[in-house]
Amino acid sequence: MDTYTLSEARQKLSFILDRAKKKGKVFIQRKDGSVFEVKALSDKKSPLDVKGIDIDLSRDEIIRIIKESRRK
């Protein structure tokens, strides 16, 4: 568990945000003892959501290529 003082958090905010992203969460503690959790929001993007490419093939050409590959 990574815990930083409020003073450290002010001085190293970028570092602490990177750390929270890497570790999942970090904690910041005030002088009065109250503790706060900082965590990165998860990226809700699917790993299967990939950018397509334009291969300039017609529907019939794609079907022909698939049928040929299945014959082998």
Q: Which tens digit of pLDDT belongs to each residue from 27-50?
A: 999 999 999 999 988 777 888 888
Q: Report yes or no on 36 lying in a domain.
A: yes
Q: Report yes or no on 48 lying in a domain.
A: no
For residue 30, give its domain range. 1-41
Q: Which of 21-30, 37-46, 59-68 comes out lowest in average pLDDT? A: 37-46
Looking at residue 59, what is its pLDDT? 93
The CA distance from 5 to 11, in Å, is: 10
Tokens of 11: 């001085």
DSSP characters for 19-56?
HHHHHS-EEEE-TTS-EEEE-PPP----TT--------
What share of the chain has pLDDT > 90, as a percent?
67
Q: Report yes or no on 14 lying in a domain.
A: yes
